[in-house]
Homo-oligomer: A and B are copies of this chain.
Amino acid sequence: MSRPREFNVDQALDAALDVFWAKGYEATSLCDLLDAMDLSKSSLYDTFGSKHELYLKAIDRYVGERTEGHERAFLSAPSGRQAIEGAFRQIIEDATGKTPYQGCFAMNCAMERAQSDDEAAERVKAAFKRYQRNYEIVIRRAQAAGEIPASKDARALARFLTSSAHGLHVTAKANPDREVLEDIVSTILEALD
């Protein structure tokens, strides 16, 4: 062994993730990252390779650690229906609470980079697939409990809810008006009846 790291890798990655989340990839400069991560340029390149590799690792961290908590809460809600309602209500709270609303990092990546960055696109696609899978799980549970008609196609509904959440994020970013968001969420939830 030799001289140990003076910084925590995951902590630095979290800081980088927050910067990319707030500013996007292109608008984030090395300087922004170094300031937020509080390390030197050589440490960043030794540890993370490049700005782009760091970005990909930040996506991985978001999809992994950063999302785990929400996912666990989502899947262990009292009922499938409550999981869904809770998730959408939470978006409204987040959007109308702190300003500016940063939305979903994976979705931001999809919008900015999916067309030009295959590695980012692949990760985003996987993240969306996971969202959809989780929706499908709670939809089936809700159907089993009679909260959603069993006649509905669970996968189609899951696809719809995933897309609806995306739309809500966009709407919230452009105009975080609670009344508007409530209208949208109410209509989305009615589609489950």
Residues of A that sit less than 8 Å from B by CB: 22-24, 26-27, 100-103, 107-108, 110-112, 114-116, 121, 124-125, 128, 153, 155-157, 159-160, 162-168, 170-171, 173-175, 180, 183-184, 186-188, 190-191
Q: Is the CB of B128 within 8 A of A171?
A: yes
Give the CA-CA distance A190 to B192 in the complex, in Å.
10
Q: A125-B175, A157-B187, A191-B187 are in contact. Are A170 and B100 (CB under 8 A)?
A: no
Docked Cα-Cα span, A54 to B94, in Å, equals 33
Known contacts A160-B187, A187-B160, A188-B160; A27/B116 CB under 8 A: yes
The residue in chain B whose Cβ has the minimal distance to the Cβ of A128 is B174
Residues of B contacting A103 in the complex (Cβ-Cβ under 8 angstroms) = 111
